[in-house]
Structures are given as structure tokens and as C-alpha cells.
Amino acid sequence: MDELLQLIEEERHKMHELAERYGLASPVVVEQSQRLDALLNAYSIK
């Protein structure tokens, strides 16, 4: 599996765990979502 795809899956998993723990509006979840978005954007440009 492509390294970027693997990283995307790991970051998505982290985001889901954080959302379950802190709620969707939590700043830590929003930050994680932004990290995931950046990776997804990088993948779409690739």
C-alpha cells in the first residue's frame, strides 16, 4: 500500500478515536481533521 494512503488511514483512525472521546466540536478533533484534510489534498494532487 502506498505510504501516503497508509498515513491517511492512520490519521483517519486517530480522528475517529478523538471524536468518540471528545466530541466532534473539540479543538483536538478539528486539528486532527485539518491534518487529515491536508493529507487528502496531497493525495488528490499526486
Model pLDDT for residues 10-46, shown as the tens digit of each residue: 999 999 999 999 999 999 999 999 999 999 999 998 7
Q: Which residue type does 36 have?
A: L
Q: pLDDT at position 12, please?
A: 98
Residue 4, pLDDT above cutoff 90: yes
Helix axes of 3-22 and 27-45: crossing angle, nearest 10 degrees:
160
Domain range enclosing 30: 3-45
Query: Could you give the C-alpha distances from 18 to 10, 32, 38, in angstroms and in order?
Result: 12, 8, 18
Count of domains observed in the chain: 1
Within 1-46, residue ranges assigned H as helices are 3-22, 27-45
Q: Which residue type does 29 have?
A: V
Q: pLDDT at position 16, please?
A: 98
Look up residue 17 and give its three cell numbers. 478515536
